[in-house]
Amino acid sequence: MKNIFLILMIFPVFVFAQDPPSILWTEFYGGEYSDSFDCAIETSDGSLLMCGYQKLTQTGCYDVYLIKTDTDGIIEWEHCYPGFQHNEAKKVIETSDGGYLLLVEIDHFGSTPNETWLMKVDSIGNEIWTQEYVGYEDPVDIVETDNNEFILIGNSTYPTPPTAFWILRVDSNGEIIWSQVYEPYFIQLPFPFVCSLINNNNDNSFLFSGYYYYNPFYRAFLIKINDLGEIEWTYTHETNNHNFSTCNIIQDEEEFILCTSFGGNIWLVRIDENGDLVNSVYIESDYNLEGLSEFRFKPNHGFIFLGFIDYANNNGQDFVLIQTSETGEIEWQNNYDLSTWDMPFSLIISDSNDLYVAGINRADTFLFSTDGFLSKFHLENSSINNDLISSNDITDINIFPNPFNPSTKIKINLAESGNIELAIYNMKGQKVKTLTNTGFDKGNHSIIWNGVDESGKPVSSGVYFYKLNVNGKSKAVKKCLLLK
């Protein structure tokens, strides 16, 4: 799961030069043979959930692997789900009913096209159902819709490089509602490859990002579709580079942030709700990034990027963390060497400013045995937690009850009169609802959130954040938990 969260403290605001965080600990998971973490999320109860694959015997196939730990990396439970081919969980999401849904790729060793599976499990990992989608290969991403359905997306890669991509909408039992296959001639993007998918928090649409090859360079794209899979607009961004590794997308209120990695560096591109360019920033790192795995953003705070670098002559690989301001100025950057070869796949930033990196580790370049790894950091004095509340603006902000169902009250004590904007965000940083945006007098005020979004629809159970702006300046972000 893709998250950046803050915890509130009552402090004056100071800004210091930043040092990269050190690894607090690293844990390795799996058995004697090959194991990997492809995706990691923070769950609504504050634990960590990783998925990938596990190889139980030296000559056997990969099986789906799912493991849940606490914030110290101690295992709460783990499951391996045996299959008959190479089975790898590419993504996992927490569903509104408190369970989890795994997006699985089935590898048929090249004899026939790969397949996509969805596997639904309960809150402790027991399998509930599995659906198989023949003809849909290379699954990439999945999201849950407002009405407890799911959108999944992937690439068509058999038997040649990507020539098309597909989208499925399925119901709560995994049955297909509709499907779309986007051919290059239809979307006018030669050799497209999709990378990331999000819900559009402002309406019932979806956006996905990727890249395509426009001889002789790669270019990034962002496409918006409606709830029937019909394309509403397409944005493309020139990179003028021969090397391309990824293209991810997140939402910042009514704008979208496209992050592309190519030629060892990073482009950040802001696009408005109509598909028009707002601005773009080129970030040149000290490291010649081989690729970018994920990035996180919190409005008015900044970005953190997770990437990796290769060493010459097959001498290994490290993962890299980079933090920038909201406008793209680098605050710190560092590479981390766990052992000979480390491939990061997933980045979590918790509500308590703990940062986790998950991926695959190999102790020796020439060994085939691997482990899933999880590393923990803590962010101190960064732009993630610099935006603290000033005692000149506000003396207190609290929420009660917390956890809550179906409504909760946010109490604000203003030291001075001013304009107050209070909004609710989900765990992806997407705005769910603006509770108020008007002038308030000095003193105590109470604002109620009844657990609905801007359209009046009830939101699902989980962690949410309420963000306070005073006179146009961000002052606080706090966590609340909706339980149904």
Question: What does 178-196 look like in DSSP terms, one character per residue?
Answer: EEEEE-HHHHT-SS-EEEE
Contact 54, 66 (CB under 8 A): no
pLDDT, tens digit, for every residue of 294-338? 999 865 568 999 998 887 555 678 999 999 887 788 889 999 988
Q: Are residues 415 and 353 in the same domain?
A: no
pLDDT on residue 396: 66
Q: Are residues 238 and 122 in the same domain?
A: yes
199 domain-assigned? yes
C-alpha to C-alpha distances, 475 to 6, 326, 354, 380, 435, nearest whole angstrom: 11, 16, 20, 18, 16
Q: What is the CATH number of the domain that holds 293?
A: 2.130.10.10
Q: Band of the pLDDT at 418, cuts 50, 70, 90?
A: confident
19 domain-assigned? no
* Cα–Cα distance, 203 to 123 (Å, whole number): 29
User: Is pLDDT above 50 for 19?
Assistant: yes
- Which residue has 């499951």 as its token pair? 79
Q: What is the mean pLDDT of residues 230-252?
A: 80
Q: What tokens does 307 get?
A: 């990437």
- Which residue has 């504050």 as its token pair? 46
3-state secondary structure of 354: strand
13 domain-assigned? no
Least confident of 12-16, 137-141, 242-246: 12-16
| Domain with 264 in it | 25-386
pTM of the predicted structure, to 2 decimals: 0.75
Residue with the bigger pLDDT between 370 and 274: it is: 274
State which of 341, 357, 386 marks the end of a domain: 386
User: Is pLDDT above 80 for 13?
Assistant: no
State which of 330, 363, 386 marks the end of a domain: 386
Q: What tokens does 99 get?
A: 């369970």
Q: What is the mean pLDDT of residues 213-239?
A: 87
What is the domain count for the chain? 2
Q: What is the CATH number of the domain that holds 420?
A: 2.60.40.4070
User: What would the DSSP string read from start to end of 439-460?
Assistant: EE-SEEEEEEE-SB-TTSPBPP
Least confident of 71-75, 162-166, 439-443, 452-456: 162-166
Work out the number of other CB atoms within 10 angstroms of the CB of residue 385: 18
190 domain-assigned? yes
Q: What is the DSSP letter of 18?
A: -
pLDDT on residue 159: 53
pLDDT on residue 170: 97
Residue with the bigger pLDDT between 349 and 290: it is: 349
Q: Are residues 300 and 159 in the same domain?
A: yes
3-state secondary structure of 98: coil
Q: Are residues 264 and 121 in the same domain?
A: yes
* Cα–Cα distance, 373 to 359 (Å, whole number): 5
366 domain-assigned? yes
Q: Band of the pLDDT at 160, cuts 50, 70, 90?
A: low
Work out the number of other CB atoms within 10 angstroms of the CB of residue 253: 15
456 domain-assigned? yes
* Cα–Cα distance, 337 to 100 (Å, whole number): 32
Listing from the earlier edge strand, what are the strands of the sheet with 394-400?
394-400, 408-414, 443-449
Q: Are residues 378 and 451 in the same domain?
A: no
Least confident of 4-13, 193-202, 394-403: 4-13
State which of 386, 420, 455 marks the end of a domain: 386
* Cα–Cα distance, 385 to 4 (Å, whole number): 11
Q: Are residues 217 and 296 in the same domain?
A: yes
pLDDT, tens digit, for every residue of 34-87? 889 999 999 999 999 999 998 877 666 789 999 999 999 999 999 999 876 788
Q: Are residues 234 and 115 in the same domain?
A: yes
Q: Are residues 430 and 310 in the same domain?
A: no
Q: Which of 11-15, 325-329, 354-358 has the highest mean pLDDT?
A: 354-358
Q: What is the mean pLDDT of residues 457-484?
A: 82
- Which residue has 């159970």 as its token pair? 461
pLDDT on residue 272: 93
The dihedral formed by the CA atoms of 47, 53, 57 and 58, expressed in degrees to the nearest 10: -130
Residue with the bigger pLDDT between 198 and 265: it is: 198
% the chain with pLDDT above 70: 84
Q: Are residues 75 and 100 in the same domain?
A: yes
16 domain-assigned? no
pLDDT on residue 280: 87
User: Is pLDDT above 80 for 358?
Assistant: yes
Contact 66, 100 (CB under 8 A): yes
pLDDT, tens digit, for every residue of 91-128? 999 999 999 999 999 886 666 678 899 999 999 999 99
Among the listed residues 120, 181, 186, 127, the one whose alpha carbon sits nearest the alpha carbon of residue 155:
181
% the chain with pLDDT above 90: 40
Q: Are residues 71 and 220 in the same domain?
A: yes
User: Is pLDDT above 90 for 224?
Assistant: yes
User: Is pLDDT above 50 for 146?
Assistant: yes
pLDDT on residue 368: 66
Contact 42, 57 (CB under 8 A): no
User: Is pLDDT above 80 for 14?
Assistant: no
Helix spans in 318-443 (H): 383-386
* Cα–Cα distance, 49 to 32 (Å, whole number): 21
17 domain-assigned? no
Average of per-residue pLDDT values in the chain:
83
pLDDT, tens digit, for every residue of 264-285? 788 889 999 999 998 888 888 8
Q: Are residues 364 and 443 in the same domain?
A: no
User: Is pLDDT above 50 for 6?
Assistant: no
Residue with the bigger pLDDT between 176 and 460: it is: 176
Q: Which of 37-51, 282-296, 370-384 has the highest mean pLDDT?
A: 37-51
Q: Are residues 221 and 284 in the same domain?
A: yes
Q: What is the DSSP letter of 434?
A: E
